[in-house]
């Protein structure tokens, strides 16, 4: 059980580092590209199902035999209606991101 907790923590820390690197590289791209349209801004949401103890043990044993851990990230494209609803719900944070990106461009 302790090994599965370590594996889970390692997976989460790897995912966090990957997301941080992706955010840093996208922020770098923002400073390099002066003209970025709103269509190019993407949001990533990470979700996962809770595994039972048996599933955790089976997963850990399978991964131990490979010696390499893999993080799988999947996404689905939103319909125009779903995107509009999402954008309306997140309008204030979107405006904050726009202001932040403008500030980045001005300091570049």
* Rg of the chain in Å (alpha carbons): 19
Determine the Cα–Cα distance for residues 20 and 16; give it in Å rounded to an integer: 6
- What's the pLDDT at 39? 58
What is this structure's pTM? Answer: 0.24
Residue range 86-104: mean pLDDT, rounded: 80
- What's the pLDDT at 54? 92
Give pLDDT tens digits for 20-79. 777 766 655 444 445 555 556 777 777 788 889 999 889 888 878 877 767 788 888 889
DSSP string of 12-68? Answer: HHHHHHHHHHHHHHHHHHHHH-S---GGG--------PPPPHHHHHHHHHHHHHHS-
Determine the Cα–Cα distance for residues 24 and 14; give it in Å rounded to an integer: 15
pLDDT at position 85 over 50: yes
Determine the Cα–Cα distance for residues 89 and 78; give it in Å rounded to an integer: 14
């Amino acid at each position: 059980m302790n090994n599965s907790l370590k594996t889970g923590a390692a997976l989460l820390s790897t995912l966090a580092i990957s997301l941080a690197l992706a955010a840093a590289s996208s922020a770098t791209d923002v400073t390099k590209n002066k003209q970025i349209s709103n269509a190019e801004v993407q949001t990533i949401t990470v979700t996962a199902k809770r595994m039972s103890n048996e599933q955790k043990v089976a997963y850990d044993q399978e991964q131990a035999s490979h010696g390499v851990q893999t993080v799988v990230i999947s996404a689905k494209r939103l319909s125009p209606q779903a995107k509009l609803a999402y954008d309306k719900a997140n309008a204030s944070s979107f405006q904050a991101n726009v202001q932040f990106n403008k500030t980045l461009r001005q300091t570049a």
